[in-house]
Structure 1
Amino acid sequence: MLSLLISFLTVLSWASTPFEASGEVYIRLNKMGYLPEEEKIGVVFSKTPIKEKFILINEGTGETVLTIKPQRDKTDAWGDFYYYTVDFSEVQQEGVYFLRSKNTVIQSSSFQIGEKVYAHQQETLLAFMRQQRCGYNSTLDMVCHQRDGRTFFGPMPDSTYIDVSGGWHDAGDQLKYLITSSYATAHMLLAYEMYPDRFEDQFNALGQPSKNGIPDVLDEAKWGLDWMLKMHPQPDQLFHQVADDRDHKGYKIPDQDNSEYGWGANSYRPVYFATGESQGLQKYKSEATGVANLAGRSAAAFALAARIWKNDLKDTLFAATCRKAALSLYALGRKMEGYQQGNSYSAPYRYNESTWADDMEWGAAELFKTTHENKYLDQAKSYALISNTADSWTVADSADHYRLYPFINLGHYVLHGLVDDDFKSKLENYYLQGIQYTMGRAKMNPFEVGVPFIWCSNNLMTGLITQIILYEKMSGDQQFNAYLSSQKDWLFGRNPWGTTMFTGMPDWESSPKDVHTSLYVLLGLKVPGGLVDGPVYASIYNNLIGLHLENKDEFAAFQNAHVVYHDDVGDYSTNEPTMDGTAGAILMMTHWSGD
């Protein structure tokens, strides 16, 4: 992200704040639509009490199919509004509908109910991933950053050239991180392994429209794997970051990068070696105690890839390469337990990851599935007991930005299928504790949203949703279906601002438009599928460097003293789409897409 981090600890609060008086009624629904059998609850609010009923109308027939009496919400208000819920869960007939107030005739946007509401949407997210590619970018049909990079902190002399071209730009900026790329890659591979028949083949390995006999999610994952192999050139070597915040000097087209790293514009960029120690070329230094967060997560990705390329794609050569990388990376993590953070140069913001046992658990579990060697299973169980819920933001009221990363411990799910019933119960309980804790937060607000609004709150939300989905698969416990629906609805429009949090989904009128990316600002390029950072505490927003709004705040009436969101290119804290956030939504989107 264009500015990566501010340490901030706060507690969720929903106290009221005054607004200009208005009698208008606002309707907030899931704009993507609803699956027939799931809960369907909208939120309506106004400055004055709402005393009229609402009707649900079938847009195709004009028929009123349900009359609903709004139910007053009893939580603290989000701003100076009266909040109500309208429940139309009983309607399961497929079709296009809208809600309307019975007397004042205030109408919602149209929405669908149907089994295929989310069909193929995982492919939309992959379109955004292709836009983030560094090297050859098929969306732009251009090649960028071919001189990445010159080494620092490595065993070789500083400024030694190694080829680390490729990978993905991290967000609206053009940095590249193993921290986020390793998770994005492993997440896509796990989503494919869970739902192999739900992905399409419409693009080739370069991201061009042309079938190549390989699901596009695997083409995208391999783009990440190829770059990760470059970042791990020897069994005892691992690089973790390309470029730094010297990138943040304004908007630029990727193949015309004017950032100055000491070798001239559009030239070499630094690549940082993972030493397991504090790093920084100027006064701002990262924290580090080891490299196991990066090594364990990367090992999980390569172990997954080894199985998929061997068993599904019948590419034994690449499978062997991935297996070898998984083994050496995991061994490196065992040798250097601890975490390596991102590096900053002239700003205090960086990725603050400080967990690692969750990554080693995932890596060990995937290696056991790949090698069938019992030592990996034993080690995975040991790391699971260390990680438990301690590495999860879900049991905390606040956390520093990206400190508890990834935002879900996928190792618990992978390990669950490999252990006895007693250990299964432990793993289920780790997920359960987080879900229950966030539900306590959700009861404090009218939108039933369970995440704290730290930077990248939408990433937390997709992590929570995925955790609920996986918990149900692990335990068979379906008690959280309604809670899951409310979290999903938040991302797709049932929020104070009435916008979805994915670009172009379901359309550009109901989703983020003025996103904080160079490609939008300079080229007007709109690519659907990008998950924006999402709402943040106003106290975070008000203390970040360089934030400003380019236009009048269209959501001014819905902000409050505690949480804000802006669809504005000037707000990199809430409206910048991220690569890992988008990749981290693929599993949940695939789950909903249906067979």
Structure 2
Amino acid sequence: MFKLLLLFAVFWTDPNNPENTAVHIRINQLGYLTEDSKIAVVFSDKPIRESFQLLDHNTGEVIGEFKSQRLKKDNWGGFEYSEVDFSQVQKSGSYYLKGKRSEATSTIFRIGDDAYGNHQETLLEFMRQQRCGYNPTLDMVCHEKDGRSFFGPMPDSTFVDLSGGWHDAGDQLKYLITSSYATAHMLMTYEMYPDRFEDKVNALGQPWPNGIPDILDEAKWGLDWIHKMHPAPDQLFHQVADDRDHRGFKIPNQDNSDYGWGENQYRAAYFATGKPQGLRQYQSEATGVANLAGRSAAAMALAARIWEKDLNDPLFAAKCKKAAISLYNLGREKEGFQQGNSYGAPYRYNEETWADDMEWAAAELYKLTGENDYLDQAKKYALMSNTEDSWTVRDSAAHYQLYPFINMGHYSLHEIVDEDFKKVLEGYYLDGIKYTLQRAEKNPFHIGVPFIWCSNNLLTSLVTQVILYEKMSGDKSFSPFLSAQRDWLFGRNPWGTSMFTGIPENGEYPIEVHTSLFVLLGLEVPGGLVDGPVYTSIYNNLIGLTLLKEDKFAAFQNEHVVYHDDVGDYSTNEPTMDGTAGAILMMTHFSKK
């Protein structure tokens, strides 16, 4: 990557080295679609009083000259901020911005309807890296002995086959909380954009095609694991392993964690009882299982339709339909939420919502079966899961308290209800968009999310919510807001970095990520969405954060938010499985048709 950057040195100055230029330009490094809002943020220690030229990268021709407009916002880091709006440029090409007086230059970026290429496939590459069982990135098999049960109807320590699934993040735990959402999200994305996916790998993720779009191969990896986690109509497991996993960086098939049977042996498997759990002092606050059962049922109902209609596999479709119905019934019997379990640490997934998941499941089951009871129940759950259940109308929330970070059930239900109820569902999305817009108007980057842990997950979910709202209502008035949220993820932020590993290929993106494969093997796997910036106050109070290298972004950290491309910062620079999966709809939407 660094050799390629040297080739571009004649055209641009390193945006992350304040000694090179007094003016810093932040743009979407990946680029802009033809009709997008295209606004760069520029900042300096002093007010900016110059125009900026847009130049063609290939010819050096000046395409246009644009005045900078001062922003009267919170001056993060003490900088003075301005905007440069070049939305009128719609000609396809590669460009860069240059200060007419300061000669500060941006990185090179693309304008055109091919700007986003097929990067949804890049995200799937990262998902394959997270596979447990057979891992195609490493060509190895891990955790074959998952796991031994706790809290279930069988005696504690009974072996149950829960091999497979995905590792959650840089660690090697497995959660139904996140895996159910990742699976359902991918399946809904495929249904919305069935013509935008490639077939380059087989079911195991090995590099030859099998006649099935790769997104469905990846979703089936999740479906197969959910089937294992639901071994009987009245049984559901929710987690494999716990924070005893956190024993430093390790290769998956050399796991040094010990759950009582020795290192790299059996791991704890937690049964979903719907009641508080915990093997030591840190107890969950579970009240039911409907969040997990509902999301899993939605995934199974989506799969039943896709494998029947698109893949001509009636046997697997029937298996998924049966599981969807039994999972939904289990959620009906035990309404409430199941949270994640911890062992010796205070951190866990604190999900407290469930009606949104049951709404999604009921809507998908109605589409699958045509039974009116499901439609009636979906509408009831939708009214229960109103705007107040969303992080979008709050200024803070506990870790994964309001998960998933978007209610995709509203979109699923929208197409099958009457016009009056459509307006209700649109209103729920709209309330969240308006609230986040008010927050965005206070900061120079026009970002609408609170910077709690995993802020990038909130951001991709907000982008997705605006996309789905546009599809439901036809209202395109929030398109500039949508572009600003997306552009932050690709470099229009204080640090000038993408939040996805390896995207764009020649840009600034996370490298020193908090994963074993990077630390121990030096692997840079593209497509992973890192957790993202957090409030400085949160960063300063988390346990075990130690930067291992000099902070290359030190000049751009500020009193509001921090981000570090450093292995030692698990709070901002750890790529996650569900965060990456949750960005696939967004990436597909902007991709080349």
Shorter-chain TM-score tier: over 0.9
2:518 corresponds to which of 517, 520, 523: 520
1:123 corresponds to which of 104, 121, 137: 121
CA contact (8 A) 2:21 2:104 kept: no
The residue that corresponds to 1:562 in the other structure is: 560
Code of the residue aligned with 1:540 in structure 2: it is: I
Alpha-carbon deviation of 1:197?
Answer: 0.7
Alpha-carbon deviation of 1:50?
Answer: 1.4
- Where do residues 118-267 of structure 1 align in structure 2 (5 Å cutoff)? 118-267=116-265
The residue that corresponds to 2:73 in the other structure is: 75
Q: Distance in 2 between matches of 1:488 and 1:501?
A: 11
SS where residue 91 of structure 2 aligns?
A: coil
CA contact (8 A) 1:22 1:46 kept: no
Once the two structures are superposed, what CA deviation does each residue of 1:299-330 show, in whole Å capped at 9, x if it has no partner?
00000000000000010000000000000000
SS where residue 95 of structure 2 aligns?
A: strand
Once the two structures are superposed, what CA deviation does each residue of 1:492-513 show, in whole Å capped at 9, x if it has no partner?
1000000000000002641100
CA contact (8 A) 1:23 1:46 kept: no
Q: Distance in 1 between matches of 2:519 and 2:240?
A: 24
Q: Distance in 1 between matches of 2:71 and 2:21?
A: 18
Stretches of structure 2 lacking an aligned partner (at least 5 in a row): 1-17
Alpha-carbon deviation of 1:560?
Answer: 1.1
Q: Distance in 1 between matches of 2:60 and 2:327?
A: 61
CA contact (8 A) 2:29 2:491 kept: yes
The residue that corresponds to 2:300 in the other structure is: 302
Q: Distance in 2 between matches of 1:520 and 1:163?
A: 29
Once the two structures are superposed, what CA deviation does each residue of 1:42-76 show, in whole Å capped at 9, x if it has no partner?
00000012112211101112110111111000111
- Where do residues 463-474 of structure 1 align in structure 2 (5 Å cutoff)? 463-474=461-472
- Where do residues 339-488 of structure 1 align in structure 2 (5 Å cutoff)? 339-488=337-486
Alpha-carbon deviation of 1:562?
Answer: 2.2
Tell me the TM-score normalised to structure 1 length.
Answer: 0.96
Code of the residue aligned with 2:50 in structure 1: it is: E
Alpha-carbon deviation of 1:401?
Answer: 1.0
SS where residue 70 of structure 1 aligns?
A: strand
Q: Distance in 1 between matches of 2:389 and 2:299?
A: 20
The residue that corresponds to 1:573 in the other structure is: 571
Stretches of structure 1 lacking an aligned partner (at least 5 in a row): 1-19
Once the two structures are superposed, what CA deviation does each residue of 1:526-566 show, in whole Å capped at 9, x if it has no partner?
11000000000111111111101000111111111221000
The residue that corresponds to 2:534 in the other structure is: 536
Q: Distance in 2 between matches of 1:569 and 1:21?
A: 25
Once the two structures are superposed, what CA deviation does each residue of 1:260-289 show, in whole Å capped at 9, x if it has no partner?
111101100000000000000000001110
Once the two structures are superposed, what CA deviation does each residue of 1:123-155 show, in whole Å capped at 9, x if it has no partner?
000000000000000100000000000000000
Code of the residue aligned with 2:487 in structure 1: it is: D
Q: Distance in 2 between matches of 1:160 and 1:365?
A: 36
Q: Distance in 1 between matches of 2:59 and 2:304?
A: 53
Q: Distance in 2 between matches of 1:46 and 1:117?
A: 28
CA contact (8 A) 2:501 2:529 kept: yes
Alpha-carbon deviation of 1:364?
Answer: 0.3
CA contact (8 A) 1:125 1:582 kept: yes
- Where do residues 314-329 of structure 1 align in structure 2 (5 Å cutoff)? 314-329=312-327
Matched-pair identity in %? 72
CA contact (8 A) 2:76 2:559 kept: no
2:582 corresponds to which of 578, 581, 584: 584
Once the two structures are superposed, what CA deviation does each residue of 1:85-129 show, in whole Å capped at 9, x if it has no partner?
001111111011001111221111100101111121100000000
Larger mean CA deviation between 58-67 and 218-227 belongs to 58-67
Q: Distance in 1 between matches of 2:120 and 2:47?
A: 40
Alpha-carbon deviation of 1:158?
Answer: 0.3
Once the two structures are superposed, what CA deviation does each residue of 1:466-492 show, in whole Å capped at 9, x if it has no partner?
000000000000100100000010001
| Moved segments of 4+, more than 2 Å | 20-23
Tell me the TM-score normalised to structure 2 length.
Answer: 0.96
CA contact (8 A) 2:29 2:507 kept: no
Q: Distance in 1 between matches of 2:221 and 2:20?
A: 51
Code of the residue aligned with 1:594 in structure 2: it is: K
Q: Distance in 1 between matches of 2:401 and 2:590?
A: 29
Once the two structures are superposed, what CA deviation does each residue of 1:425-449 show, in whole Å capped at 9, x if it has no partner?
0000000000000000000000000
Q: Distance in 2 between matches of 1:390 and 1:164?
A: 35
The residue that corresponds to 1:10 in the other structure is: none
Q: Distance in 2 between matches of 1:465 and 1:519?
A: 30
SS where residue 387 of structure 2 aligns?
A: coil
